[in-house]
Amino acid sequence: MHIIATFEYSTSLELALSELENTGIPKKKITAFPLDKRVEPGKLFDSMHQSDGISLFDLAAVFGAIFMLLGTIYGYVLKLGPILWGLFGLIFGLLLGFLIDYTIYKRKLGKKIKQNKKEKISEVVIIIECKDHELEKTEKILWSHAALGLCKVSTPRNSGSSFRI
């Protein structure tokens, strides 16, 4: 039986590993894989296949519609007419909304980058090979030391200690 768990790299991970060794699981049955953190900032514009949930065009569309409406209304009084003033209002509203969203996004992105530079905590994946009677105790140890997630994988009896996911 294999148990796969994820942890943040911290002292609780080290305590969990040492407690597992003290319960009788040898070091050679425990494998740890540290994961690299993403260091590059997110893209400014989303593609069709990938989105980060941040839209820079929502406020631009709202402001564009509002200023287009105002341009059309006051265009009846102004010299160039309602169609041109509506287009001017649309362009002005789109640019204003985009610039507001862009500055807010850049501030948030700057704060995230500063936070990421301060804390470089990465995750670690632990794979533990244990016997069926050690399963419950091992699982309890991992959960008590703040495991982020846990998975039990049963190994086929005829293939030895290797497993496939």
Q: Which domains does the chain have, with CATH numbers?
A: 2-36+122-159 (3.30.70.120), 58-118 (no CATH)
- At residue 162, the pLDDT reads 55
**CA–CA distance, 131 with 129 (Å, rounded to integer):** 7
CA-closest candidate to residue 17, choices 4, 5, 30, 8: 30
Give the pLDDT band (50/70/90) at residue 51: low
- At residue 66, the pLDDT reads 96
CA 71 to chain centre: 41
- At residue 45, the pLDDT reads 61
- Asked if residue 24 has pLDDT above 70, the reply is yes
* Span 122-136, average pLDDT: 87
The average confidence (pLDDT) of the chain is 82
When mean pLDDT is compared over 21-30, 46-55, 71-80, the highest value belongs to 71-80
Residue 35's contacts (CB-CB under 8 Å, 6 or more residues apart) are 122, 123, 124, 125
**Tokens for 62?**
């709202």
- At residue 123, the pLDDT reads 86
- 83-117 pLDDT, tens digit each: 999 999 999 999 999 999 888 887 876 666 555 55
Q: Is the whole model's pTM more than 0.75, yes or no?
A: no
Give the pLDDT band (50/70/90) at residue 52: low
Task: Give me the percent of the chain exceeding a pLDDT of 90.
Answer: 27
